[in-house]
Amino acid sequence: QVHLVESGGGLVQAGGSLRLSCVASGRTFSNYYMGWFRQAPGKEREFVATMSRGGDSTAYADSVKGRFTVSRDNPKNTVYLQMNSLKPEDTAVYYCAAREKPTITYPYWGRGTQVTVSS
């Protein structure tokens, strides 16, 4: 089992930037495909971004494409989400998740970090 802890959330004005981090422990980090998700108040959790084990493949939700960038540092057991040009609609709790294969649902989740974007 892998344990995930997110950090880096906070309050930022529209147009600003934040970088989220997710540190993994418990298993070999490079064995996991990593994902970022978010959940806004009153809404279902939604996909934000994903990255392959080696970092050579990424995918993004249309709503964040061109503004958010996912990256990972395997020796540091960390995945990042750089968020630029933030909008009020990006306000949500952001979660990182891990899975061993790209074809299964994510079994491992962090507890989330709050991102609030003011207008």
To the nearest whole number, what is the mean pLDDT of the chain? 96
pLDDT of residue 97: 98
Distance in angstroms (rounded) separating the CA atoms of residues 50 and 60? 7
3-state SS assignment for residue 22 = strand
Distance in angstroms (rounded) separating the CA atoms of residues 18 and 87? 12
pLDDT of residue 103: 85
Phi, psi of 85 (to 5 degrees): 50, 50
pLDDT of residue 5: 98
3-state SS assignment for residue 91 = coil
Low-confidence stretches of the chain (pLDDT beneath 70): none
Distance in angstroms (rounded) separating the CA atoms of residues 11 and 62? 23
